[in-house]
């Protein structure tokens, strides 16, 4: 069992920045090393969108086209924590952001498929005002 706890959401003006955090923890005797960690977002009435992903302990990162060049996903393996640095935020970025994990490394052709992820956090709200 893996638990994910997101933090860092809030309200920001357009053009501003936020950093989201996702702390992963596993049951005693288990590790989250090698897990694919993804950030997703969802707005009511719209489909969930994969934003970015990274494999814990790995180096490959993947991004949705809509956030490339503005968002950066990173990790602190000592803390089993994944971060999403979001810059140049605009109204289209406003959503509930979720952290997700699956016991496999991320792949370029599937990281964005939410159905593949077994574990989800509770979500953190990002609001962008103009």
pLDDT tens by residue, 62-78: 999 999 999 999 999 99
DSSP class of residue 88 equals S
Mean pLDDT (the chain) is: 96
The set of residues, in sequence order, having a beta carbon less than 8 Å from that of 89 and lying 6+ positions away, is: 12, 14, 15, 16, 17, 18, 70, 126, 128
Q: Which residues pair with 73 in a beta bridge?
A: 84
pLDDT of res. 27: 83
pLDDT of res. 65: 98
pLDDT of res. 23: 96
pLDDT of res. 29: 82
pLDDT of res. 74: 97
pLDDT of res. 53: 98
Low-confidence ranges of the chain (pLDDT < 70): none
Assign residue 80 a region (left: φ > 0; alpha: ψ between -120 and 50; beta: otherwise): left
pLDDT of res. 5: 96
């Amino acid at each position: 069992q893996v638990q994910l706890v997101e933090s860092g959401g809030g309200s920001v003006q357009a053009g501003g920045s936020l950093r989201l955090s996702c702390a992963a923890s596993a049951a005693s005797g288990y590790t989250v090393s090698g897990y694919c960690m993804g950030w997703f977002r969802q707005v009511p009435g719209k489909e969930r969108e994969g934003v970015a992903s990274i494999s814990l302990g790995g180096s490959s990162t993947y991004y949705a086209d809509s956030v490339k060049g503005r968002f950066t996903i990173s990790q602190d393996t000592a803390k089993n924590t994944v971060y999403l640095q979001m810059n140049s935020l605009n109204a289209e970025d406003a959503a509930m952001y979720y952290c997700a994990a699956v016991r496999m490394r991320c792949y370029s052709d599937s990281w964005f498929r939410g159905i593949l992820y077994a574990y989800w956090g509770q979500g953190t709200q990002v609001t962008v005002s103009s």
